[in-house]
Structure 1
Amino acid sequence: MRALILRRPGLPGWLSEMLRYQGPNRLAIQMLAWHETLYYHAIATAVYAEAVGRALGYTGEELEQLTQAAFFHDCGKITWPSALVSKARLNNDDRKLVNAHPIAGEYYLREYWPDVPDTVCRIVREHHERADGDGYPNGLKDGQIHPLSVIVAAVEVFTALTEHRPYRDRSFTRAEALAELERQGFPGKVVRVLAGIKEMAVGRVVGK
């Protein structure tokens, strides 16, 4: 099963290196086993987050932790029933599961990867927090949210909007997704960097 992740076609080389440790690789396998959309969304989010981080001047350990957290940001979803993948309308019980996945993700990271950096766990826990306090799970506001969490949050929304989802008629165009990021109040510098990335192709980011 280890080779399933490490040698999967299209996996970026840096991601293969990141998953070389048994714990992170086992968690990645669980993500793929739960649903392919979760796994490929994780790759897309990590690729874009790495590109955005580099463009904003992050290097070394900070860039590595940003990328790690971007890949594992939704790992808490492996607790969900698979029916939630395509469910168009969520009831109150569904919403409770959804709102708990950042916390579940931190628990899974610490279980599978005992020496996971605290910053990676914090980003995973905060990737649905919003500057206006309207996010979850803790309703944090601007200034309380880690700057790397903000990047992952913006990139995650962008990738989710532009990917296919069975519960909506069509994906957002890139322009529509960028406009939605602006509407939601994400930092202009992050939106501008994403706007400058032309496309993602087989595990790499292609510039204009």
Structure 2
Amino acid sequence: MRTRQLKPGMKLDHPVVDRLGRNLVARGAELDDYMIDSLLKLGIMSVYIQEGEEEENPEQIPTSPEAEKNIERLRTEDRAKVTLSASIRERVSTGIQFIYNNTTSEEMVATTESIADDLMRSIKSNDAIAIDISTLKTSDEYTFKHSVDVATISMIVAKQQGLSPEEVREIGVCGLLHDIGKTKIPNAILNKPGKLDDDEFAIMRQHSTYSYNMIKDRPEFSPAVCLGVLQHHEKINGSGYPMGVSAEKICPYAKILSVSDIYDALVTERPYKKAYSQRDAVEMIMSMTMELDITAMKSFLESMILYPVDSIVELSNGEQARVVKNIPHYILRPVVVGLTSGNVYNLGEDINCANIIIL
């Protein structure tokens, strides 16, 4: 849960640790205003909250008999989503920190491959074909969390697109390593609480080239992986970097990574910007048809679950409603049931619902 959304009385599900592994706040600690303020001052943007503490329990929201009847009739489980067990989350979190802190180590390759294997096992364990990014929770440190998020999203998008298991695994490796070159960018630029000037941005743009140079001579990484890392900021209209190439010269891995990278950056809070809502981030992705590969974008949109079944949403008509079914082609417009009226709103397919949105 984002730190700015914490409330006194919530309890931590995982300890908060610093970069040296020292506990700052223990698991199970009950938060107060002072602790929340301290976490914000330390730059800790999100923490894990024990279940039942993050938001009101949907069962406690009054529902009419008609609503209960329609919910039971229409409720359809979400497509299988990627879930990371506690043990895998711990291994992934430790591993990604090792990679970024030991970029020249001989063990860096083995650690990267081990994390990619863990992510593959998580996808295969329930034949996952979708992802709810809010459930990953691999790290509180932006660079580490972002790398794992991009790797996981990209793997699911690649699977949705029909790539082979080995290609899915390789794109996971790309995601884990795509920002490794940022270890060569000064922290004053990386964490600047404001817009970068032209000179600073020119330095920042070098990170993808740095990432490529750090892995290109390691035989364990295929040319496709290295090129995907190098090109993850290229755009199909040629407006990207570092080479400014257009669609036909951008490798397939980079086209997928680009969508995943932009989405995760948008929904993550940083010192210099607030996080966009998942809805706003998806709408921004959908508007980038001149910059992002349309096949990768379509596969991404069909892979994401923004409103999991059973979540409570507020509609633009003033009603609260429960999500009962997600429709892959209408990521922003699931089927919901009004909790008071019992009305069924098929937001994606019923033209009578065209003027109703989820707020």
TM-score, normalization: structure 2? 0.46
Matched, 1:176 2:280: yes
Q: Which amino acid aligns with 1:24?
A: V
Task: Give the whole-Å Cα distance in 2 for the aligned partners of 1:10 and 1:164.
Answer: 24
For 1:142, the aligned partner's letter is: A
Give 1:99 deviation, angstroms: 1.4
Unaligned runs of 5+ in 1: 29-34, 200-207
In structure 2, the partner of 1:9 is 90
User: 1:8 & 1:110 partners in 2: Cα distance?
Assistant: 28
Structure 2 CA distance for partners of 1:195 and 1:10, relative to 1, 3 Å: farther
The answer to whether 1:198 aligns with 2:301 is: no
In 1, are the aligned partners of 2:225 and 2:253 still within 8 Å (CA)? Answer: no
2-structure distance, mates of 1:173, 1:190: 21
Shift in Å, 1:92: 2.5
Q: What CA deviation, in whole Å up to 9, does each residue of 1:26-82 have, x standing for no partner? A: 789xxxxxx931111000000101111111111232212111111111111000111
DSSP 3-state at the match of 2:158: helix
Aligned-partner SS, 1:143: helix
Indicate if the aligned counterparts of 2:235 and 2:244 stay in contact, CA closer than 8 A. yes
Output the CA distance in 1 between the equivalents of 2:297 and 2:258.
Answer: 11
Give the C-alpha shift of residue 25 in structure 1.
5.4
Checking the alignment, whether the CA contact within 8 Å between 1:182 and 1:188 is kept in structure 2 is no
Structure-to-structure mapping, 1:1-208, within 5 angstroms: 9=90, 11=92, 22-24=107-109, 36-87=141-192, 88-110=194-216, 113-168=218-273, 170-185=274-289, 186-196=292-302, 197-198=304-305
Q: Secondary structure at the match of 1:167?
A: coil
CA distance change for structure 1 residues 173 and 44 in 2, over 3 Å: closer, same or farther? same
Q: Render the CA deviation track for 1:147-178: whole Å, top value 9, x for unaligned.
A: 2210001110011101111101x211122112
Query: Is there any run of 5+ residues in structure 2 with no aligned partner, and where?
Result: 1-20, 22-86, 100-105, 114-139, 307-325, 327-359
> CA shift at 1:91, angstroms?
1.9
Conservation of the 8 A alpha-carbon contact between 1:178 and 1:191: no
CA distance in 2, matches of 1:80, 1:25: 24
Per-residue CA deviations over 1:105-140 (Å, capped at 9, x if unaligned) read 0111135x4431111110011000001110001100
| Cα distance in 2 for residues equivalent to 1:158 and 1:72 | 17
Greater Rg over alpha carbons, structure? 2
Matched letter for residue 146 of structure 1: C
For residues 238 and 299 of structure 2, the distance between their equivalents in structure 1, rounded to whole angstroms, comes to 24
Give the number of equivalent residue pairs. Answer: 184
Residues 183 and 96 from structure 1, CA distance in 2 versus in 1: closer, same or farther, beyond 3 angstroms?
Answer: same
How high is the sequence identity, in percent, across the aligned residues?
21
Cα distance in structure 2, aligned partners of 1:95 and 1:191? 26
Q: Which amino acid aligns with 1:22?
A: E
Secondary structure of the 2:206 match is: helix
Structure 1 Cα separation of the partners of residues 286 and 305 of structure 2: 18
Q: Is the 2:146–2:264 contact (alpha carbons within 8 Å) kept by the matching residues of 1?
A: yes
Instruction: Show the counterpart of 1:203.
Output: none
- Rounded Cα–Cα distance in structure 1 between residues aligned with 2:163 and 2:278: 24
Q: Find the aligned partners of 1:23 and 1:110 in 2 and give their Cα distance.
A: 14
Deviation at residue 8 of structure 1 after TM alignment = 6.2
